[in-house]
Structure 1
Amino acid sequence: MKIDVSLLLFSGIGILIGVLSSMFGFGGGFIVVPILFLFLPDSIPGDYLMHTAIGTSLAVMIINSFNSTLNHAKQGNVLWPVFKKFVGYIAIGSLIGGILAYFVDSNLLRIAFISMLSYVIISSLFKKTFTKTVDEASFQLPSISSSIAVGSSIGFISTMMGIGGSVMTIPYLRGRNMSMLHAVALATPLGLPIATVGAVTYLITGLQVEAMPASTIGFIYIPAFFGFIIGGFIGVPFGRKWAEKIPDQIYSKMYLILLFIVVVMMILG
């Protein structure tokens, strides 16, 4: 597939990624990783397909998360006190996860990705995390110990998987009675340290692999990176506007359904 055709294809997909980024706090990871796993060129060594999909996903997240954060912050959707509780611990967990991911087999990362999303879906159904009516007035800031445990775990696992953290951040905040709009708005800036630390780590470790083609920098596939970014700037504002209009009960169920679709995509891939 030629670079110009790839850029056009990935730009179109990038619009969808931008919409989902600002609507569901994904930062693109849930969509980027499965799509790239399917469409990365044969020039990328098979042992590093998943690494490249994750590395590219994390790089795209930096831009999409920042863009989505600005859009939500302008509307007052981001609860900054909660952000300050988690961001430092997430960054520390991200650094550790990014370093260790280089030593993990690509297929093992794929299996872990599928397993973790399946667990989130099943546990959310049992706990009714996304089907219950929440009373946001009862939301309380987590304790320091809880912030350390949850934040570092989110950072570590998310960077290993290249998923931006929303898969754990949003269910956690939703379980503490936060509305979907505010949980999603928080997931975008909390994804920034994961994306930044993870992308830099995957870039550096990928540079050590001599077999990577010229279309990559480290484990970042350049045509997809720029294509997703171009499309993301178009899609993000639309996603934020729609997120503010969807009733919370419908919004939460849409999130759960989307998780299921992503799992199916990865299994078929």
Structure 2
Amino acid sequence: MSILVLFFVGSAVGVTTVLFGFGGGFVTVPIILFVDAARGPDALRIAIATSALVMLVNAVVATSATRRSILAHLRRRRSLFALLALGGAVGGVGALFVPDVVPRWGFVAYIGITVVDLLLRPGFLPRSGVTRRPKKAPDGRPLTDGWGIPIGGVASFLGVGGSVMTVPMMRRSGMDMSLATSLANPLTVAIAVPAMLVASVFGSSVASSPGLVGTVDVVSALALLAGAIPVIVLLRRRPPRIPDAVHSWAYLALLVVAATAVAVTG
């Protein structure tokens, strides 16, 4: 796949980062799997690590361009961020040493389960004639601290990105899609930093070949980011107005596309 194609794919990743909170994980993993298919069993580990770098940079850019009034919803959530980071580190280590079939089909299975859950369990997809009213978790927060480690661990182990878990949870707390997806970006930063560090520092003992730093495909990551960052900045400055129902159904459709792409690539 040429650098130019990766650039345009990166532009699409920029759109998903802003509109759906996906910092690149669920899009980047299938793409890098295809790009690095010739590397054999290491391709999935490379895809997950490269995804962590793309997610991190995109999420940082998106977060820095988000209004402070929105980010205020995560004020005084240091414990949650710390536990997300811990989970991200644990999941990143696990992804290095398990057979590639585990995270590959785990990715497909997890997204499949998520899609079924979003379709069947109320709270994510809007129902006609029903006005969403904010609900709170037992401690008064949509995302309790205790979810930090499992969210961070699953996100970094499978490369799905934390937003696959955090957006539905915040959505069910009563948030509209625009707010939930905006808050997913700073939460993704907490997961992606340790996951990327683990892949960069320890990945070379698992997969080592030209173009890799640890298990990160740097050239592909830079091409994706070159396409994504301008789009993120533009859409954050001029956010499109999308009806909440359309927004939530589009989120669901993209999950299906991502799971299908990884299954076919496998």
TM-score, shorter chain, exceeding 0.5: yes
Q: What's the counterpart of residue 118 of structure 2?
A: 124
Contact 2:59 2:188 in 1 (8 A): yes
Contact 2:162 2:187 in 1 (8 A): yes
Q: How many residue pairs get matched?
A: 261
Change in Cα spacing, 1:183 to 1:20, as seen in structure 2 (3 Å) is: same
Who is 1:195 aligned against?
A: 192
| Structure 1, unaligned runs of 5 or more | none
1:165 aligned to 148, 162, 176, which one? Answer: 162
Q: For 1:14-25, what aligned pairs fall within 5 Å after superposition?
A: 14-25=10-21
For residues 11-58 of structure 1, give each alpha carbon's deviation from its aligned partner in whole angstroms, at most 9, with x where no partner exists: 12111111111111110011000111112152x2x1211000000000
- Write the distance in 2 (CA, Å) between the matches of 1:191 and 1:73: 17
Instruction: Report the AA paired with residue 222 of structure 2.
Output: F
Q: Which moved more, 1:120-129 or 1:145-154?
A: 145-154
Q: Residue deviations 1:196-220, cap 9 Å, x none?
A: 10011111221113x6221111100
58, 70, 74: which one aligns with 1:77: 70
**1:10 matched to 2:6:** yes
State how far apart, in whole Å, the 2-side matches of 1:19 and 1:152 are.
28
Query: Residue 225 of structure 1 aligns with which residue?
Result: 221
Query: What's the TM-score once normalised by structure 2's chain length?
Result: 0.90
Q: Give RMSD over aligned pairs.
A: 2.3
TM-superposed deviation, 1:245? 0.6
3-state DSSP of counterpart to 1:128:
coil
For structure 2, the residue ranges without an aligned partner over 5 or more in a row are none
> Partner letter of residue 175 of structure 2?
M
* Residue number in structure 2 paired with 1:30: 26
- Is the Cα–Cα contact under 8 Å of residues 162 and 191 in structure 2 kept in the other structure? yes
Which residue does 1:260 correspond to in 2?
A: 256
Runs of 4+ in 1 over 4 A off after TM superposition: 82-85, 133-137, 241-244
Q: Separation in 2 of the partners of 1:136 and 1:259?
A: 23
Measured in 2, the distance between the counterparts of 1:128 and 1:122 equals 11
Q: Which residue of 1 aligns with 2:178?
A: 181
Identical aligned residues as a percent: 28
Distance 2:123 2:236 in 1: 22
Structure 2 vs 1, CA of residues 41 and 215 (structure 1 numbering), >3 Å: closer, same or farther?
farther
